[in-house]
Amino acid sequence: MALAFLKCKYFDPSSLAECMLALILGRKPPAWVIVLVDQTTIDGVQVVNAAIPLEGRAVPVAWIDFEYPWKNAGSASANQVSR
């Protein structure tokens, strides 16, 4: 059922993110907001997302996915690369 929803031509994730921001921040947004950033790999595709903490959860508000142009052949771990 979720897959059918995501394949709907009227579903636009970027619009959803704008709506989520409006709901989270309200009519009078604070001067600053904590944004959580995370990167993970799903089936070889890198995914970076940004989320805003709300009531013990992280509400995603932005994301991007990409593939490296090279294959993973003995590259350093993400923790080593980040340092």
- Would residue 65 be called left, alpha or beta, if left means φ above 0 and alpha means ψ between -120 and 50 degrees? beta
The helix (H) or strand (E) run that includes residue 2 is helix 2-7
Q: What is the pLDDT of residue 59?
A: 87
CA-nearest of 74, 45, 78, 38 to 59 is 38
From first to last of its 83 residues, the chain has per-residue pLDDT tens of 566 766 777 777 777 778 888 888 888 888 999 999 999 998 888 999 999 999 999 988 888 888 877 565 555 556 555 55
Q: What is the pLDDT of residue 51?
A: 93
Q: What is the pLDDT of residue 58?
A: 92
